[in-house]
Amino acid sequence: MSAKRTERLLNLTICLLAARRFLTKEQIRAAVTAYAECPTVEAFERMFERDKDELRELGIPLETGTHEALFGDEVGYRIDRGAYALPEVTFTPEELAVLGLAARAWRQASLSHAAGTALLKLRAAGVDPDETAMAGLEPRVGDDPALQPLWSASFEGRPVSFDYRTPPSDTPARRRVEPWGLGVRNGKWYLVGFDVDRQASRVFRLSRITGPIKVTGAPGSVVKPPEVDIREELRRMMPAAPRETAVVRARPGSAYGLRSRAGSIALAAETGGEWDTLHVEFTSAETLVEELVSYGAAVVVDGPDEVRDGVVARLRALAGVA
């Protein structure tokens, strides 16, 4: 849509929203500059009819009617404010944390502007993500060059081809894939899709893709089977990493990152204590220690010893205590 047309539709929307009563065509023509500049009535009529259809396609509730008792055949227009206005936007603290993390995750990627704009709109609506709830979490989309084109191809439903290194030979081979989606496992990005040459579903580690991604089909030509779950495919087709469980006490209303993946949570309100108790599975003790330290005084580690001692040592180092 051109800037000129966008401006005209915006002005028409503002005009009809501001009106306390139905406006006739002549009143609308006088109020909207683009219509007033039309050389003939016929030109205005054609433009206005197109714009009315455009507003309705955009979901704007355009009403027709009249307030004239004596001249009821003269149709007027307005926008129903009640139907146009958005309901109050509310989110739980956990949802706000996720929204903020999503925007921060994309800040190094090509979607950083869109993510920032989304947060700006939320703040304009009176919704402000709590930065303290995201302490210690610094998600990254990653700098793998294959990520963005594969993400777009999966979203648009377009087949792709690329060169892929498979251990132990490590020699790249051409793969033709119908992408179903992407996911992260153990900190690495993977593509799940249908391998055309092998006629089977496959999981591809993005860091093993070499060279550019080539899109080989039209949008919508790939449809993910409804029974396919990307996370389940990653779990099923890749060896599971060994896991242990850490017991962590957290202050109520904190450590949302830990809470989101905790196997169980005993709330302070239920136990009569001052802390919520979380049981969190982990693969790398070092990685978990780094996260726990970032929460500061909001968490206390009860076990295992490896994690608790690691947190104590890291905090002592930060404090300069031998």
Cα–Cα distance, 155 to 315 (Å, whole number): 43
pLDDT tens-digit map of 265-276: 999 888 888 899
Query: What residue type is assigned to position 156 of the chain?
Result: E
| This model's pTM is above 0.85 | no
- The confidence score (pLDDT) of residue 105 equals 54
- The confidence score (pLDDT) of residue 283 equals 80
- The confidence score (pLDDT) of residue 314 equals 87
**Positions of the chain with pLDDT lower than 50, given as ranges:** 70-71, 108-111, 130-140
Least Cα distance to 94 among 252, 248, 251, 260 occurs for 260
Is residue 322 within 8 A of residue 312, CB to CB? The reply is no
* Beta strand segments in 235-275, E: 244-250, 262-266
Q: Which residues pair with 246 in a beta bridge?
A: 280
- The confidence score (pLDDT) of residue 46 equals 92
Find the angle CA(119)-CA(120)-CA(126) to the nearest 5 degrees. 90
- The confidence score (pLDDT) of residue 71 equals 47
Query: What residue type is assigned to position 178 of the chain?
Result: E
Q: Residue 52 half-sphere exposure, CB side, CA atoms within 13 Å?
A: 14
- The confidence score (pLDDT) of residue 212 equals 92
pLDDT tens-digit map of 250-267: 998 888 878 888 889 999
Query: What residue type is assigned to position 144 of the chain?
Result: D
Is residue 104 within 8 A of residue 141, CB to CB? The reply is no
Find the angle CA(7)-CA(13)-CA(14) to the nearest 5 degrees. 90
Fold annotation for 3-84: Arc Repressor Mutant, subunit A (1.10.10)
Task: Spell out a b/e string for 126-144, using b for 16 or more CB atoms within 10 Å of the CB, else e.
Answer: ebebeeebbbbbeeebbee
